[in-house]
Structure 1
Amino acid sequence: MRMVGKKLSLNLVNQTNESEYVDDDGDLLTEDVGEVEESEEQEVTKVRTLPLYYVDSSKCKIPYVDPFGPDTLAVYTPMKFETCSNETALVTPIFNHNMKRYVLHINETLATILLNSSDIDYNCYYLEIVRDQAHDSYNSLNRKYFSQGFVVPHHVQGLVVTCHKFDNDSFVLQHDGYSVIQYVPPPPGISNLPGKRKPSVIMFGIDSLSRINIRRTMPKTYNYLTGSGWYEMQGYNKIGDNTFPNLMAILTGYTPKTAKELICDWDKDGCLDRIPFIWHYMKNASYLTAMGEDESGMATFNYCKPGFVQQPTDYYARPQHKAFEHFLDKWKCAECEMTYCIGRRITSSYIYDFGRDFVNRYVDERPIFGLFWSNSFSHNDYRMTSKMDDYILQYMLDFETDGVFEQSIMIFLSDHGSRYGKILGFESGFLEERLPAMFIYLPPWFRAHYPEFTKALQLNQNRLTSNFDLHNTLKHIIELGGTPDGPALPRSNDCPKCHSLFYTHDPERTCDDAGIPEHFCTCVPYKRLKGKWASRIAPKVIDRINEYLERRNLSEICSTLTLSYIHRTEIKIELEENFHDEMSTKDVAIYRTKFKVRPNGADFYATVTFNNVTENVDVDVETISRTTSYERDATCVSDKMAKLYCICKSNVRD
């Protein structure tokens, strides 16, 4: 296709497979090939050619989605970044590398400005934040006043600092909160020789970010993540509905259902401590570990769950973050549904700064593992990440400046795409929800020492992969540099055919091979049905939901659901079938149906097996997706799974 024009901004010329090249480092590159006709008087921008598929095999075809298609452009406008405060810090904990201790520095000039006088005295104190083991929360200890240059005691992990007028503690100059990464020397015997070296692993997570949406809303960050050493897993497909099952698969190799059956009931106190999370294996291999997540009320292992009794990792940000949420002012921007600022800073910065400090403290001298996860700016609105493009890019650039990429494998990831909102109404909505962003960086020394693993990861970029493969990759990393006769770590329990991304995956892999349930599989197309007969399916699915609530003894408090209307019903078309052939009725087939219920207009999306003769619907209710928020509908139940399907009688609005 030849295009002529002035300042063209077309996003889609035609859909052909991208041309592939390999750079000097052996990294796979893709060149967007487009043809334009230029004249001396016309300014023409480069026209992009988009691929047809992320994955293209006889068993799996995951379509590529143009992030700037006409449906998206009709509703999407990038948002602008907002700062929380123009005020600099009055008190800052500074790590003294000679002493290997934190020293509190007071900005005396700022204090004079805030008091509007150099003659008025002021005092500063801190509250030490300690972990409340019984509730996976925090306690704060009594005030401890300090002066300039105070050396923070080594046992202190978190502080809320306050400065106030000398004779009036209600006249506050500034509140602030800090997590501090107190230094612990490495154990003897740590080797940095390539053959014996264990790579550090840094997991940088953003909730609800699809690989489509990162291209749309964070183009600068996306461009950075496609640089040398980075590998985008374009065939990465989620295995569960929300954060918990997807992170459980990555971090434990289990689905929540299997973990509950084989290990313990994670709804009970102490169970999460017994589940074999990856950080336990990391600790056993001399890794130092850290974990942090913002929005403590919806944290992955605490929302509708008891959390951990024992502190799960060596450094754990939850107690401090809960304290910051309590003691510091919170603010939501005009478009925000979640807390945008805590105190002077962006909510997620408390977690990402915690991660940055942890990495900087140790990455040059020992293997470390860290998971740093943010929900606050991405969970509820797919557009919000556009506010944060420069902000997230800066963290990547800081990591690069600090030499982190020289040492570490970094995994930049999400759990799933957007699960609510207008974006799910697009033709691409099904893919948006099921294809999370996943980028893996390999440091230069790793690529040089393990060329076969690098080549496999490169090939696997456009092959079907899942959370279970990533779990096996983490186990594989732990085993590197170990003794040849050391025992192999157990691989993912719930996907026997899954293996490390450092081994080449079968190009003809199926969702079943990768441990991806049918409801979340993006490999095989579905065709929309136009006849009325398919309307028989949705009411049967609603009956199953009502039966589910009844079996769980929730019918007294949860409304009986009835059909409002059907958005659409689709039938699965196997890849060997001709998608465009006339549809003939099948006795038994797999369908997807999206429908709205009464009361309260909740939307659901179900994948079912339907027998057209007996009219029997076979569906696992707990795989049915809720595609509208349940926050206001399910206040009468505490179980997270039940919340998806319960419209509390006390919350009925229509």
Structure 2
Amino acid sequence: MDSRFRAAHPLYKWLLGFCLLLIIFVCAIPMGNQLPDVRKEKTVSMLTRIVNVATPQPQQYFVRTAQCHIPFVDPFSEDLMKIYKPQTFVTCSNESDLVTTTYDALQLRYVLHINEQVAQQLLNSTAEEYNCFYEEISYGQQIDTYDKLKADKYFTDGYVVPKHVEGMLMECQTAEEPHIVLQRDAFMFIQYQPEEPTPTPTPKAKTLGPRKPSVIMYGIDSLSRINLRRTMPKVHKFLQGPGWYEMQGYNKVADNSFPNLFAILSGYSPDTAKSQVCDTDKSGCFEELPMIWHYFKNASYMTAYAEDESGSNTFNYLKPGFTEKPTDYYFRPFLRALEAETEVTRLPGGYMRYCMGRRLANRYIYDYCRQFMQRYVQERPIWGMFWTNHYSHDDPFMPSAMQNMVLTDLMDYEADGAFEHTIMIFFADHGTRFGKLRDLKSGFLESRLPMMFIYLPPWFRAEYPSYVRALELNRNRLSSNFDLHNTLKHIIEIGGGPELPKSFDCPTCQSLFYPLPEDRTCAQAAIDEHWCTCQPYRTISNLDWADRVAQSVIPLMNEYFVAKNLSHLCSNLSLSYVHNTQIKTGLDISWHDALPQLEVAVYRTKFKVQQNSADFEATVVFNNVTETAEVKVETISRTNSYKEDSTCIDDKIAKLYCICISDLKP
């Protein structure tokens, strides 16, 4: 037989067999007559099923269960594409690296290399001499800052970095005066720390426990699963590979970064933490709380934490930060040095630092992550969270310029072999909260559905097939931050640790390695009604009725300022106009049914106030007979930028609603 036929794809063989059967079937039909109706219907039905199998239908829902319908949003719909502007990647330096670093695995040390050809290019000479030196960056007396830079340390090609040096600012300059700087740069190092030896067990006690998976959390601020598909299609395609599971029913539990990340890392909401443990606005509280890195550390994991914008760091933006080093490797002191000691570049109209020296702000973070995995992941379990704000927070379309960089990160981690050992969580805190994207019909979902992908290494999938099946099932079921918190603790337990307390704020939440209930509600996942995406709403055409819902909310916002003792700083708000008001209908009412006439119902109203044209969105229980409303003010969303409206106060939540009298625009 011809080898081409022997190598034929099985699909071709199947199609050939099908065609032969079809020919035999047709030939068996009596000549001169049309197909009998019944036989004709069966044939058409069979062919229709084959065509349907070959042509999958477009996805309509992220989640469609008994109590939750989260509609799928086409990231390339016509209204979205009208405002979508892909961004161009901007480099921080076009120069080649004069100094680079490598890691000597035999010495367990970093080595500095000077590229002589680059030096000659920068000098425009082969004879002129130059010198290179560095200043060490070290932890300060206060853990959230850095110590005074140490004296200059000169080095030459092949210099072995001392093990105590975790960060440095480097400069090369001409030898002759006046000195001309050839290049400045900065390097951070994960200096290897050998595991402390443990007493040799007796022969009877010597047993091998379960293998402990490492956990790396790679985070991008303000990136929804919808916007990921739109701005980073290459990354999204990579995340469809073997071992990756997208939690398409993952729904945020709060408005902005801190409460959403805090829920993952502590299992608490800020309010519950205040009543049960300590006030997160007070110094020393984060040391009292049972943060997840403490559990990993107690289970013999090496730990790390890094973010790329000091002013917006999760535990420092209008928060007291840490009084003690929270993890084994803690990047913030080095970040503060980079921000203060290097040349900082911001993009036009951008608030956050884009470049620090010759590199993107997030490059320091994810290179730090790569070093952390390279140093440890093959010999001991590690946990680390590496988070970027600087390009995604202020511009929802800037991730389009970064997709090749992010894809390279993931591919580098894979090439290093890190994925053989690591459960990776590729995630966000929330989606876009304000701006043009938020104003679209899909903006409600855009802001509430952060991306959430979980990768399981091959050995883990082979050893725990029931957890894999649960994760596959849970991809299209409702889940929340508190479930992820429980999953992190479950991973520690898998490694042989004791049973750990589950998320305090959600007694009905669980690990994602167990099947979530098919009939789960937002309340059971600790998702407040205002953030819940499970239930449909219908727009009210009666404008008078719509206005009355919004009008009932504003007095409650003004009373909030009084209760917070802010009324002397914050202007009283008054309604300008209502964008739209919707009523919650329930899953059993279709778009074709008439709206129910209810005395009390749940509404979602989006409105503008006269003061500085601020936009808000509130979920309200409204009685259309008594004209009374029930709404928790601190769940109301601010849907346009507020950074220039509330400069008179530091309260992180109240800043959303306060239009400072001193900031009022004419």
Q: Same fold (TM over 0.5)?
A: yes
Distance (whole Å) between structure 2 residues aligned to residue 386 and residue 202 of structure 1: 23
Q: Of the candidates 449, 461, 464, which is equivalent to residue 463 of structure 2?
A: 449
CA-CA distance at 1:161 after TM superposition: 1.1
Q: Is the 8 A contact 1:573 1:579 kept in 2?
A: no
Shift of 1:129: 1.5
For residue 649 of structure 2, the aligned residue among 621, 637, 642 is: 637
Q: Contact 2:546–2:580 at 8 Å: present in 1 too?
A: no
* Structure 1 segment 32-431 matched on structure 2, within 5 A: 49-134=57-142, 136-148=144-156, 149-168=158-177, 171-188=180-197, 196-334=210-348, 336-431=350-445
Which of 490-499 and 163-172 deviates more?
163-172
1:382-430 residue CA offsets vs partner (Å, 9 max, x unmatched):
1111111111111111011000111100010001110111111211110
Q: Residue 574 of structure 1 aligns with which residue?
A: 586
1:522 equivalent in alignment to 2:539: no
* Larger mean Cα displacement after TM superposition, 155-164 or 491-500: 155-164
Relative to structure 1, the CA distance from residue 375 to residue 565 in structure 2 (aligned partners, 3 Å threshold; closer, same or farther) is same
C-alpha contact (below 8 Å) 1:479/1:488 kept by paired residues = yes
Please, which moves more after superposition, 532-541 or 130-139? 130-139
Q: Comparing both structures, which one devotes a greater share of its residues to helix?
A: 2
Distance 1:75 1:481 in 2: 48
Structure 1 residue 34: Cα displacement: 12
**Displacement of 1:352 after TM fit?**
0.7
User: Is the 1:78–1:386 Cα contact (8 Å) retained in structure 2?
Assistant: yes
* Aligned-residue offset at 1:131: 2.3
Cα deviation, 1:428-465, whole Å, max 9, x if unaligned, reads 11001100100000000000000011111111000100
Distance 1:87 1:47, change over 3 A: farther
SS of equivalent to 1:513: helix
The answer (yes or no) to whether the contact 1:250–1:470 under 8 Å persists in 2 is yes
- Greater Cα radius of gyration, structure 1 or 2: 2
- Give the match's secondary structure for 2:568: coil
CA contact (8 A) 2:189 2:368 kept: yes
1:35/1:644 CA distance change after superposition, 3 Å: farther
Give the structure 2 partner of residue 504 of structure 1: 515
Q: Which residue of 2 aligns with 1:646?
A: 658
Q: Which runs of 5+ in 1 are unaligned?
A: 1-32, 37-45
Alpha-carbon offset, residue 142 of structure 1: 2.6
Tell me which moved more, 341-350 or 290-299: 341-350
Task: Give the conservation status (yes or no) of the 8 Å contact 1:165–1:173.
Answer: yes
SS of alignment partner, residue 159 of structure 1: strand
Q: Is the 8 A contact 1:339 1:376 kept in 2?
A: yes
Partners of 1:133 and 1:626 in 2: how far apart?
Answer: 38
Q: Which amino acid aligns with 1:95?
A: Y
Q: Which moved more, 1:93-102 or 1:289-298?
A: 93-102
Match of 2:640 in 1: 628
1:553 and 2:565 are equivalent in the alignment: yes
Contact 1:380 1:420 in 2 (8 A): no
CA contact (8 A) 1:95 1:102 kept: yes
Offset at residue 289 of structure 1 (A)? 0.4
What does the per-residue CA deviation read over 1:172-227, in whole Å, with 9 as the maximum and x for residues that have no partner?
A: 21111111000011244699x99611100011101111111111110000000011
Q: Is the 2:134–2:153 Cα contact (8 Å) retained in structure 1?
A: yes
1:71 partner amino acid: D
Letter in 1 for 2:664: V
Deviation at 1:158, TM superposition (A): 1.2
Q: Is the Cα contact below 8 Å between 1:186 and 1:365 reproduced in 2? A: no
Structure 1: how far apart are the matches of 2:141 and 2:652?
Answer: 23
The alpha-carbon deviation at position 107 of structure 1 amounts to 2.2
Please say if residues 546 and 578 of structure 2, whose CA atoms lie closer than 8 Å, have aligned partners that are also in contact: no
Alignment partners' CA distance in 2, 1:213 and 1:106:
41
What CA distance in whole angstroms lies between the structure 1 residues aligned with 2:312 and 2:549?
A: 34
Distance 1:351 1:47, change over 3 A: farther
For 1:412 and 1:34, locate their aligned partners in 2 and report how far apart those are by CA, in whole Å: 37
Distance 1:413 1:374 in 2: 11
Q: Mark the runs of 5 or more structure 2 residues left unpaired by the alignment.
A: 1-48, 202-206
d(CA) in 2 for partners of 1:424, 1:462:
24
Secondary structure of the structure 1 residue equivalent to 2:218: strand
Aligned runs of 1:538-549 on 2, under 5 Å?
538-549=550-561
Aligned partner of 1:27 in structure 2 is: none
Q: Distance in 2 between matches of 1:584 and 1:502?
A: 40
Give the match for residue 25 of structure 2: none
| Cα distance in 1 between the residues matched to 2:135 and 2:279 | 36
Q: 1:639 to 1:99 in 2, by over 3 A?
A: same
Q: Is the 8 A contact 1:34 1:48 kept in 2?
A: no
Distance verdict in 2 for CA 1:235–1:133, change over 3 Å = farther
Structure 1 residues 60-83: Cα deviation after superposition (integer angstroms, max 9, x where no partner)? 000011111111111213222222
Give the alignment partner of residue 471 of structure 1, picking from 464, 481, 485: 485
Secondary structure of 2:525's aligned partner: coil
Return the offset for 1:333: 3.5
**In structure 1, C-alpha distance between the alignment counterparts of 2:128 and 2:575, rounded to whole Å:** 69
| % identical equivalent positions | 55
What corresponds to 1:39 in structure 2?
none
Instruction: Report the Cα distance in structure 2 between the residues aligned to 1:280 and 1:535, rounded to whole angstroms.
Output: 50
**Structure 1 residues 449 and 612 mapped into 2: Cα distance closer, same or farther (>3 Å)?**
same
Report what 2:46 is aligned to.
none
- Alignment-mate amino acid for residue 601 of structure 1: S
2:448 — aligned with what?
A: 434
Deviation at 1:336? 4.5
Matched, 1:616 2:628: yes
Distance in 2 separating the partners of 1:168 and 1:94:
31
TM-superposed CA distance for 1:481, in Å, is 2.9
Q: In the aligned structure 2, how far is the partner of 1:449 from the partner of 1:336? A: 47
